[in-house]
Amino acid sequence: MHIRIGITGGIGVGKSTVCSIFRQLGVPIYYADVRAKLLMNEDTDLKKKIKQAFGWDTYDKQENLNRSYLSKIVFNDPAQLNLLNSIVHPAVFDDYHNWVDAKAKAGHAYSIKEAALMFETDSHKDMNKIIVVTAPINDRLERIMRRDHIKKDDVLKRIESQLSDKERLERADFVIRNAGKDSVILQSLEIHKKIVALTVA
């Protein structure tokens, strides 16, 4: 039996770091946000739906997504953002299922889907187990400000727009705490052992 694991957590908690550890253990990782961006540029049917919803200027003459144009439309308008998500998420859902079927056929005991919006999109229902990554707020602020070159207030707005850690932790099967004194590697290895045990149970 192939086990589907989800990894999620708020912005700046270090999900990518955790995923890189599991990847080194030979676990296939599906990066939902990366795949969504790829599909928005390559999936003909999806591109057509986005153009119909947001206008032909959503793509340039080379048929590449005009990200800044689309961002201006959806960034401060929850209704438009929900519309975009309702178009993109079903395409990602189908893409993930094709991917995970291939990993199962290839003999992998389990795979991981990494997604910031795991509970918000109901994709957690598709997972057998969920790993939630957390980190202290000051570490998150510093990490995002440095990574995205944005101001503290903008980071706080992004954090406040997401689910709280409390809400995520209530639904978690496993938790990785990415704080200075905690070893993310050791926590990941411990969870890896538990998941492998489930695949042979």
pLDDT score of 187 more than 70: yes
Q: Which residue has the higher pLDDT, 161 or 47?
A: 47
Of the pLDDT bands very low, low, confident and very high (cuts 50, 70, 90), residue 169 is very high
Q: Which pLDDT does position 182 carry in this prediction? A: 67
What is the CATH architecture assignment of 3-28+108-200?
A: 3-Layer(aba) Sandwich (3.40)
Residues in CB range of 41: below 8 A, 6 or more apart: 47, 63, 64, 65
Q: Which pLDDT does position 67 carry in this prediction? A: 92
pLDDT score of 77 more than 90: no
pLDDT score of 22 more than 90: yes
Residue 63 Ramachandran class (φ > 0 left, ψ -120 to 50 alpha, else beta)? left
Q: Which pLDDT does position 201 carry in this prediction? A: 66
pLDDT score of 164 more than 90: no
- Give the Cα separation of 122 and 117 in Å (integer): 8
Of the pLDDT bands very low, low, confident and very high (cuts 50, 70, 90), residue 76 is confident
pLDDT score of 87 more than 90: yes
C-alpha distances in Å from residue 148, one per residue of 12, 72, 75, 193? 10, 17, 16, 34
Could you tell me the residue ranges of all domains in the chain?
Answer: 3-28+108-200
**Contact criterion met (CB below 8 Å) for 16 and 121:** no
What's the mean pLDDT when you consider all of the chain? 92
Q: Which pLDDT does position 117 carry in this prediction? A: 87
Return the beta strands (E) in the chain as ranges.
3-8, 29-31, 110-114, 129-134, 174-177
